[in-house]
Amino acid sequence: MFLIVMPIFLVILVGYVYGRLKPDSGEADKLINDYVLYIALPALLFIAVARADIADLKQWGFVMSTLIGIVASYVIATMFAKSMKIGLPQSSIFSMGACYGTTGYMGVPILISIYGEQATLPAALATILHNIPAIMAVIISWGVFSNRTTKNQISLFRSVITAALTTVKNPLTISVLAGLAFVLFDIRVPIFIESFASFLGNAAGPTALFALGLGLSRLNVRKHLNVTAGRIVIPMIALKLFAQPAITFAVATYVFGMSQGVWLAVAVVMAAQPIGAGVYVFAKKYNYLQDIISLSIIVSLPLALVTIPLVLNLF
C-alpha cells in the first residue's frame, strides 16, 4: 500500500522542490491554487454528484459517522484548549486544526487513484461534510465572542448567516450543490457538459497535490519550532491523524454497521487527512496562531505519509 500511495506524495514533493527552487514564483502559486480551487476540483465534484442516482446519496451511516468524527475531534480539542487557558473564540482555531483536513487537495486524489471512479461520489460528499461544520464553527465563534466586551458585539443570528453565506460561497460547496440539483430534479447532464467537466476534473488530482507542495515550500519550520509551539501542535496533530479516523471508524462500524467497502474506506481516509491549509487561512484572517498553525500543517503532512497507508491497509 505504501508503494501505491508513494507516487501521490512524490507529486507533493515535486511541488515543494519547485517552490524552493523558484522562491519568486508567487504569482504562479496563486494561479495554480486558483485553478484547483475554482476550476478543476469543482468540475470533478460536480460531475461526480450530478451523475449519481438519488439512491446512491442515501448513505446515512457514512454521513453521520463522518460528522460525529468531526464534531468529536472539535469538542475534545476545545476542552483541551480550555485546560491550557485558551478560551473562545481563540480555541476555535485550535479546534478547527484538530478536525479539518486536506480532503480536496489530497484526500480526493488519493482515493481516486486507489479505488477509481467509484470513490469519486463519496469523496465529493465527504469534502463538503468536512468543510461545513469547522468553517461555520470558527466564523460563528469569532462573530459572537470576539467582541462580547464591546458595543460592536455581533448577534448569534447574524454570525450564523455570515457563516452560512461564507460556506455556501465556497466553490467546492457550490459545485456539489449544483450536482445535487441535477440529481434531485432528475436532470440528465448533457454529454458535452459531462465531457467538459470530466476533462477539467481529470487535472484536479495532480494539480492539487502540486499546489499543496508549493504552499508547503513557503512555510518556515525552523522559525516556529519551539517547546511552546509543541504543546499545541502535538495534541492538534494527534487528534487529527489518530483520534478523528479512529472515532469515525468506530462509529461507522459499531454504531451504523457499515461493512468493508468504498464508503467506509472513504469516511476513514478522509478523516485521516493531515491538517488542511484552510485552517491557516482563518488563523491569518483572525490574526491568531498563524505561525503554530503553519508548523502543524507542515509537520502533519510527512506523518500522514505513514498513517494514511496504515489506514488504507485496513481496507
One-letter identity of residue 155:
S
pLDDT-derived band at 227 (thresholds 50, 70, 90) equals low
- Is the predicted pLDDT of residue 113 greater than 70, yes or no? yes
Half-sphere exposure of 172 (CA within 13 A, CB side): 23
pLDDT-derived band at 132 (thresholds 50, 70, 90) equals confident
3-state DSSP call for residue 52? Answer: coil
For residue 117, how many other CB atoms are within 10 A of its CB? 10
Q: pLDDT at position 149, please?
A: 47
Higher pLDDT, 29 or 259: 259
- Is the predicted pLDDT of residue 133 greater than 60, yes or no? yes
Q: Among 179-188, 245-254, 301-310, name the most confident range.
A: 245-254
Higher pLDDT, 239 or 37: 239
220-231 per-residue burial string, b: 16 or more CB within 10 A, e: under 16 = eeeebeeeebee
Distance (Å, whole) CA 141 – CA 156: 9
- Is the predicted pLDDT of residue 186 greater than 50, yes or no? yes
Counting the structural domains of the chain, the total is: 1
Q: pLDDT at position 159, please?
A: 76
The mean pLDDT of 175-180, rounded to a whole number, is 91
Distance (Å, whole) CA 178 – CA 172: 10
CATH number at residue 87: 1.20.1530.20
The mean pLDDT of 274-293, rounded to a whole number, is 86
The mean pLDDT of 289-302, rounded to a whole number, is 84
Q: Is the dihedral of CA 40, 41, 42, 43 positive or negative?
A: positive
Cell 490574526 sits on residue: 287
Residue 276 host element (H or E): none
Percentage of the residues of the chain whose pLDDT score is greater than 70: 92
pLDDT-derived band at 147 (thresholds 50, 70, 90) equals low
Query: Nearest to residue 119, comparing CAs of 273, 314, 264, 254?
Result: 264
Distance (Å, whole) CA 105 – CA 121: 16
Q: Do residues 175 and 182 lie in contact, with contact meaning Cβ atoms separated by under 8 Å? A: no
Distance (Å, whole) CA 185 – CA 13: 43
**pTM confidence score:** 0.85
Q: Give the domain extent around 55.
A: 2-313
Q: What is the mean pLDDT of the chain?
A: 87
Each residue's pLDDT tens digit, 196-221: 999 998 888 888 888 878 877 876 66
Cell 480536496 sits on residue: 104
